[in-house]
Amino acid sequence: MGRNRPVRGRARIRGSTPLGGAELLPRAETTGMGLPTSPPFGATAQVMTESSDVPELRTILATAVAHGASDVHIRAGAPPLIRVDGQLIPLDLPDLSSAAAEELVLGALPTAGDRRAFDADLECDFALTADGIGRFRVNAYRARGTSSMVLRHVKEVIPSIEELGLPGIARDLALRPSGLVLVCGPTGSGKTTSLAAMIDVINVERSCHVLTIEDPIEFLHRDKQSTISQRELHTDTHDFGRALRSGMRQDPDVILVGEIRDATTMRTALQAAETGHLVLASLHARTVVDAINRIIDIFPVEEQRQARASIAESLRGIICQHLVTSASGDGRTVVVEVAVSTPRIREAIADVVKTPLLQDIVAEGDYYGMRSFQQDAVRNVMAGAITLEEAEKVVTRVSDLHVALKRAGYRF
């Protein structure tokens, strides 16, 4: 494929052979993209580019999915990039001009409202479905005056907790009748997928009303034993806090908050947990200790003492996770840290002096289903699931990891 010629029919990773499974449908057969967030699902977005100098988005997305990519990057000055097993790889396509990137981004925005929001805010979150290819969570943004976007491929089949490699305690936490359960980790660590798997457990095991508030909706849940109401930010509601307050009057048994971002949302989530609801939420935090400190720091100083008491009383568990490259080089493996509410955990949360002890309490809590990142890293290394180098990326103290591995019989 010529480096400066427009792409027609196929895209491929540079240095690879063309992908038979990533062929572009002929123009007459393309059906566009829809916004699968609230019924009816008929809203469409323009996905075919008007200019012959711009690669078609379906080509790029089909190639990404065929290679098992998690993300697609579109920006001016570079070819489209796809992330495979954590590594960014350029597609064998021409560098995108500013006009080409603009055309791809604006063509992907599904509604006039999204286009207005992008023009006004210079960034926009939305969800797209490429018929026959898959669903994507998208963030469009401006960078150095040009339009860019990142599309995350969302698997349409919700994986099970076991398929994700999460410990059995995740299922137990999902079936708690009330309280707060947090799933934490950095961006791209699989928090949303883990929460979807936990909601699916509830959907199969319980007859209840599940309310989700997401930005955007990624996994579509079909009613099984439960009835599930999925609301999307900017489409069905204006903000998490308002949707959560309103949700309390919608007779929910379980509430999923896509992300806790501010004190208002955290405060309302705690109130819901204290009044008999199960609240599942994600939070950007690397470890259990980080998660507790992050929650406390959300509140004004004068409220932090009461916040500690409320969190200690309402919290049922925290799952922190990281994705690392598998030892086989094929895919990624989850490494987790888990805290479960016990008297010692509650005391350490309530008392600021004892909060640093949480790490040791977690490490000593195997009986309750708890484990530290170091313990799970050792387990995965000894099982041959991940390499030592990958294990070192998720622990706080590498020297302690080496000591633990030596005790487990690992040979350096």
Tell me the pLDDT of the chain (412 aa) as tens digits: 333 333 333 455 555 433 333 333 332 233 333 333 332 322 333 343 444 567 889 999 999 999 999 999 999 999 999 999 888 999 999 999 999 999 999 999 988 888 998 999 999 988 888 989 998 989 999 999 999 999 999 877 899 999 999 999 999 999 999 999 999 999 889 999 999 999 999 999 999 999 999 987 889 899 999 999 999 887 899 888 889 999 999 999 999 999 999 999 999 999 999 999 999 999 999 999 999 999 999 999 999 999 999 999 999 999 999 999 999 988 899 999 999 999 999 999 999 999 999 999 999 999 999 999 999 999 999 999 999 999 999 999 999 999 999 999 999 8
List own/partner pairs for 216-223 with CB under 8 A and 24 or more apart.
Answer: 216/37, 216/125, 216/126, 216/127, 216/137, 217/36, 217/37, 217/127, 218/127, 218/135, 218/137, 218/154, 218/192, 219/154, 219/155, 219/156, 219/158, 219/192, 219/193, 220/36, 220/156, 221/158, 221/196
Structurally, what CATH architecture does the domain formed by 20-154 represent?
2-Layer Sandwich (3.30)
The CATH T-level fold of domain 161-371 is Rossmann fold (3.40.50)
The reported pLDDT for the residue numbered 54 is 72
The reported pLDDT for the residue numbered 240 is 87
The reported pLDDT for the residue numbered 106 is 94
Tokens linked to 23: 């062929």
Cα–Cα–Cα angle for 327, 388, 88, rounded to 5 degrees:
55
Length of the chain: 412
The reported pLDDT for the residue numbered 14 is 58
The reported pLDDT for the residue numbered 156 is 79
The reported pLDDT for the residue numbered 399 is 97
The reported pLDDT for the residue numbered 270 is 96
> What residue spans define the domains of the chain?
20-154, 161-371
